[in-house]
Each structure stands twice: as C-alpha cells, then as structure tokens.
Amino acid sequence: MNFSRYIASRILHKGQEKNTISSPIVKIGITGIALGVAVMIITMAVVTGFQQQIIHKITTFTAHLQINDYDPNQSFEPNPITFDKGLLNQIKSTPNVKHIQSFATKNGILKTKTENEGIILKGVSTDYDWSYLKPYVVEGNVLSVNNDSISKDIFISKTLANKLHLKLNQKLLVYFMTKKKLEDTTFNGKNYIDYEPRVKDFYVKGIFNTGFSDFDRNLVFVDLKQIQKLNYWNNDEVAGYEVYLNDFNLLEPSVETLNDVIGYNYTVSSVKELQSAIFSWLEMIDVNAVIIITLMVLVAAINMISALLILILERTNLVGILKALGLANANVRRIFFHVSIQLLAKGLFFGNLIGIGFCWLQLQFQFATLNPETYYLEYVPINLSLTHILLINLGTIITCLLMMFLPTLILNKITPIKAIRFS
C-alpha cells in the first residue's frame, strides 16, 4: 500500500474513534458534505422539473411561437391572415420546426340557465395537435373537427364546468359581439364600425384540467369554422398560426429564422414574449437555485476544511515525527490530501444516496404536494438528470480540493523539535 495513503487511512480511522477530539468533527464534516450534495441534487431536480412542467403547460395552449398579422394593437380578435400552401410548406421545412397549426380566438359570454361567464374561444382546425392536451382530459374527449361540416362541440376546462355546473353533452349558449357587415362604412366622412350581438349553441364534448388557472378559468376550444363564420371570414382566413419546435433552447434563433421566411407583413412572437410575466418568475427561480447551490458548495467546503484542520492540529506530534524522519512538507501534505479525498468520497456517497433517493421516491409516490392555485402544479415535479448530478459532484470535488490547501498550509509552520517537545 502507498505510504501516504496508509498513514491517511490510519489518521482517519483514529479520527473516528469516540475518545478523540476530532471524532465529532469528522462526522460533522462528512454529514455537512453529504447534506450539501443532497440539497444541490434535490434543488436542481425540483427547479428544472418545475420549469419543464410549467413551460410544457404554457406551450400546450400557446405553442412555442405564434405567427400573426403585424398589428401593434393585437387583441384576442386580431386581423385575419392567409398563408398559401407554398409558404406553409416553407415554414414546415424550416430547421427546428416540428409542427404548425392554424387558430383563431374570439371573446364571448358563456351562459347557462343560472350562470354566465366571460370566456375566450379558441378555434382549431384539423391540423391541431391534440397530443399536448390529451393527458389532461378528465371527461369525454377532445374535439372532433373535419373539413366537411361545422362542429357544434365545445371543449371546456373543469374549472368552468364546476363553476357553471356543466356536464358532458349538455347544451349551452355563447353570446358574441361581432362586426356588422355593412355596405357603407363611412359616416360624415369618417370610417366607423358597427357591432351586432349574436348567439351560438354548443354541446360539451369534453372536459380538461391542466391545473393552470391562467388558462383553465376562461379558455375553451371550438371548431375554427365557427369563428370564421362569426367574423365573416373566408375559409382560408385565420387569426394566426402556432408553431411547435423540436428544441425549445433554440427559441430565439427560430424566431429570427421564421421572420426572414414570412417577411415584414407578419410578426413572429415567442412564448416568452406572450407570457413574459410567467417566464420572469421562472428566471427568478433560476437565481434562487444558483444561490442555494453556491451556498451548499461553500458549506461543504467549509465543513471539510474544519474537519481537516482539527485532524492536523490533533496530529501535530505525528507531523513532527514524520518530518524528523525526513519526510518533506510536500509528502506530509500528500497524506492529508488523501485524508481529504476519503472524507469527500464518503460525503459524496451519502449525499448522492440521499438526494437521488429522495427524488426517486417523489417520482414514484408524489408525496410532496403543492397548491395548484399558486404553483400551477399539484405536486413537486422532479427532473432527475445524470448531467446535473455529474456536474454537481464534479463542482463539489473541485471546490473542496482547492479549498483543502488552506488548512495544509499550517503544516509548513510545524517544526519537528516543537512538535515532539510539546507532544
């Protein structure tokens, strides 16, 4: 066995005996490293899992990108646009584009015999990708839309269904204010717009529950042709197109690429722009995670420094004897370097065991719950990434090994004569 490694193992073994001063310090050092690593793993798993789930729910309703008419006064009833097949095919072939679908939105008032509620109707067509919403269906099914007829089905949230006491296949009425189609749109030389009230009847096809109150409380899905008919639009006119991407991390470059493809008459908006408040909140969570991880690394390093310093002071006479036998300062430092490695290895082992174990239990049993009204999720999400675990362990090792040189500097001050005299 290597001499330095052998002496280090003897020092550490003696340091864990109950009758030594360093015994509790060594245990505290290992525990500190273990808890620090465990907290870092759990923090990264929870923060990245939370962000993934929130982004997934947002993009379920808004997609990653939206293409609309270039209008500075955008609303839920924007100006219609028309894309020919050539332009649509060009967008579909753009790098990182996964799927494109048409949509339109319109404000309305959902009315039953006893209740009424303001809603936003989102019209979708046959190209709509329901795979994002299907996991959230709690009753019935998603809309069945075809090109041959206009569907009277409506797909609503559980929040609305509970509030208005709606059930599957129940008939309901939706009231709209639509622009009146006029022959003469001027009055005294000025353009004006007149509106007329209209009412449509729908039947509840399905009920979904995402737990995302920002959308669940007022968003419903209907056949796109219903909105086209209400707005006196042609069959090829829509409010815009939603674009899903293969890689969310390439969001900004994809916006620039699509802007070059569609030209200046239209605008491409990312989900970060459409839901800026929520993404600002997610960025704040990132900052909190960085602070927690930084503090935990420092705690782990300080714990190891403290344990190593106590071990050195307790073994002052041993250091003196080794130096008297001709061992150089570098070789003595190498002994305590091996002590540091063993302390760090034990701390990392137990830290990974605790952190990964907690995350696995949460994935299996979801025992840590949340209030969906506040956090948009019913339980704490976990994203257990091997890359994150390796980076946390690597960062802890590098930081602790760099910091461990501080207590070993005291070894240079220990002389054989003084160490043996006062032993």
pLDDT single digits (tens) 233-264: 998 999 999 999 999 999 999 999 999 998 88
- Predicted confidence at residue 17, as pLDDT, reads 54
Region for residue 404 given its phi and psi (left: phi exceeds 0; alpha: psi -120 to 50; beta: otherwise): alpha
**pLDDT at position 225 over 80:** yes
Per-residue pLDDT band at 41 (split at 50, 70, 90): very high
Contacts of 214 (CB under 8 A, 6+ apart): 278, 376
Distance CA(185)–CA(137), nearest Å, equals 45
CA distance 407 to 307: 10
Query: What pLDDT is stored for residue 93 in this prediction?
Result: 93
Q: What is the pLDDT of residues 69-128, one digit of tens each?
A: 876 555 556 788 998 889 999 999 999 999 999 999 999 999 887 788 899 999 999 999
- Which tens digits make up the pLDDT trace of 122-164? 999 999 999 999 999 999 999 989 888 899 999 999 999 998 9
Residue 169 has pLDDT above 60, yes or no: yes
Q: Residue 29 in contact with residue 307, Cβ under 8 Å?
A: yes
Give the three-state DSSP class for 11. Answer: helix
> How many CB atoms within 10 Å of residue 143?
21
Would you say residue 5 has pLDDT above 80? no
Provide Rg for the chain, Cα atoms: 32
Residue with tokens 């609305």: 160
Task: Identify the sign of the CA torsion 131, 136, 142, 147.
Answer: negative
Q: Are the beta carbons of 226 and 122 closer than 8 angstroms?
A: no
Question: To the nearest whole number, what is the mean pLDDT of the chain?
Answer: 84
pTM of the model: 0.80
Give the end-to-end CA distance of the chain in Å, rounded to a whole number.
28
- Give CA angle at 333 (332, 336), nearest 5°: 95
Give the whole-angstrom CA distance, residue 56 versus residue 333: 52
Task: Give yes or no for a contact between 358 and 368, defined as CB atoms under 8 angstroms apart.
Answer: no
- 253: which residues sit within 8 A by CB, 6+ positions away? 96
Q: What are the extents of the domains in the chain?
A: 3-56+279-421, 71-263
Residue 30 pLDDT: 83
User: Is residue 400 pLDDT above 70, yes or no?
Assistant: yes
| Exposure letters 111-130 (e unless 16+ CB within 10 A, then b) | eeeeeebebebbbbbeebbe
Calculate helix-pair angle for 276-314, 386-403, nearest 10 degrees.
40
CB 223 within 8 A of CB 123: yes
- pLDDT recorded at residue 309: 77
Contact 422, 318 (CB under 8 A): no
Q: What is the pLDDT of residue 334?
A: 75
